[in-house]
Amino acid sequence: MDDTKQSLKVVRLGIDTYKEAVIYIRKDSYICQAEGFEAQARIRVRFEDTYIIATLNTIESDILQVGQAGLSEYAINLLGVKEGNEIYLSHPEPLQSLRKVRAKIYGNQLSDDDFAEIINDVVAGRLSDIHISSFLTTCAGDRLSREEILGLTKSMISVGARIAWPDQLVVDKHCVGGLPGNKTSLIVVPIVAAFGLTIPKTSSRAITSAAGTADAMETLAPVDLSFSKMQGVVEKEGGCVVWGGSVLLSPADDILIRVEQALDLDGEGQLVASVLSKKVAAGSNHVVIDIPIGITAKVRDFEQADVIKDYLITTGEKLGLRVCVVYTDGCQPVGNGIGPALSARDVLAVLQSDKDAPQDLRDRALDLAGHVLEFSARLQAGAGRQMAEKILNDGQAWHKFQAICAAQGGMREPPEAKFTHTVESKVAGEIKAIDNRRIARVGKLAGAPQDKAAGVYLHEKVHAKVEMGQPLFTVHAGSKGELEYALDFVASDGELIVIKEA
């Protein structure tokens, strides 16, 4: 179908809809009336040679004039327009990709080409959040075959950048989320790089957690590196810890993940495709994947873990990626600090072999680093952990970490929070459980991850015996208001830390 004959002038309303392209037009404009465009219609929007499909919101106020069109920030970026540019609207042709989604709903298998078509339209903004939600739903509940998981993964790799490294062996390490304070990457990367392997680690920022690995690293060095800057760091130091979003390794995943979060849905196939697409894009060929298992972690039991493990290994094989899956304890947070700076301090303590360093974080990082090191032909099976311990103990890892920070733009000191409050035990007894989701919530209410200094510091962990009045945890916040929010939640919630009275 042709464009409308009339153009509209772009106005920047400054509305951030995240990754949803929205167009705003006055309800009483000729174009709405002539084309029969109504709120929530999908409209093809063209600027010069580029077009996107946007969802219509109609306007009945003076924030826009007839002849003008507002665009959401995402739509402005996708289309590459500036204020005053002329855009043309039309009815979009029916999307083939949407037919594929429907075919899947009706029980058909999707081919590699089908997934490519769907993921291309996701990245180009032609499928709305409503469509993406439908796609994710029909793929969840273990409804993707092995071939389909592979097809989905390949399609997600193909829409992003992909890094090639000169080394034959390129390793990586990834954790299937869900555990507050888990920042082993910041210890594993320098150990592995100090050993001499290439480990180009990209990490995520927090989406619903109190701190992503990238947020913690950012309190110690810049993580917002360009693609070529990241390559430079890895070529020089063998490893890096940068934010994946800035190097655009899996643009499809950035979009899908936010809809998954809204649905609180983690389809197995989707999870596998998300993890592996990023690792392949980063140029790795050997990867250790940590699956924490616990009732308040993302993966709740061994049965679910076994399914995911199997998909990870078999899909990885087809992509030339050797996957080693490690199950770890997911019953409580890792280390003591939850929040970007507090996590970073735990990491520094481990790297500097501080006697107060959290032992669980140290142990977990050494185990994982050991598995990664064993990908090397220089080590025998079973010798990895000992080698990792040696590299950590003799200061090589700490030295390498400082070098990586310097290469990423300069090492810095994590900030400290202005306000703190320590919560004490009301009873004497033994800590039986710490709820991962609730403790992360406290950290977020205190301001993390936007406020890098905010978060929670756990003084005691599961199995510890505590006296009445003994400090359990300290909340760190940048303002009194935020401290109060967090403490209000603590006061109202009985299941944050479960203590069995002695």
Q: How far, in Å, CA of 451 to CA of 294, rounded? A: 28
Nearest distance in Å: CB 479, a copy of itself: 7
Question: How many residues at the interface with a copy of itself, by CB under 8 A?
Answer: 73
Contact between 98 and a copy of itself by CB under 8 A: the answer reads yes
One of 130, 161, 427, 468 touching a copy of itself (CB under 8 A): 130
Q: Where in the sequence numbering do the catalytic residues fall?
A: 266
Nearest distance in Å: CB 100, a copy of itself: 12
One of 7, 57, 314, 420 touching a copy of itself (CB under 8 A): 57
- DSSP characters for 351-414? HTT-TTS-HHHHHHHHHHHHHHHTTSTTS-TT-HHHHHHHHHHTTHHHHHHHHHHHHHT---PP
Nearer to a copy of itself, 107 or 382 (CB): 107
**Residue 77: phi, psi to the nearest 5?**
-70, -45
Contact between 445 and a copy of itself by CB under 8 A: the answer reads yes
Contact window for a copy of itself (CB under 8 A) among 38-46, 370-378, 413-421, 459-467: 38-46
Across 110-268, where does the E strand assignment appear? 171-175, 199-203, 239-243
Residues β-bridged to residue 54? 43
Angle between helices 436-445 and 480-492 (to 10 degrees): 150
Contact between 339 and a copy of itself by CB under 8 A: the answer reads no
Structure-token match 């890094």, residue found: 163
One of 138, 250, 285, 315 touching a copy of itself (CB under 8 A): 138
Residue type present at position 277: S
Instruction: Identify which of 358, 335, 360 has the alpha carbon closest to the alpha carbon of residue 436.
Output: 335
Nearer to a copy of itself, 158 or 479 (CB): 479
Tokens of residue 40, six digits: 């929530």
Nearer to a copy of itself, 137 or 158 (CB): 137
Nearest distance in Å: CB 106, a copy of itself: 5
Interacting positions 139-198 with a copy of itself (CB under 8 A): 140-142
Contact between 65 and a copy of itself by CB under 8 A: the answer reads no
Nearest distance in Å: CB 2, a copy of itself: 6
Contact between 303 and a copy of itself by CB under 8 A: the answer reads no
Nearest distance in Å: CB 107, a copy of itself: 6
CB 221 within 8 A of CB 240: no
Contact between 482 and a copy of itself by CB under 8 A: the answer reads yes
Tokens of residue 209, six digits: 């957690």
Please report, to the nearest 10 degrees, the dihedral formed by the alpha carbons of residues 74, 75, 81, 86 taken in order: -160
One of 137, 158, 314, 420 touching a copy of itself (CB under 8 A): 137
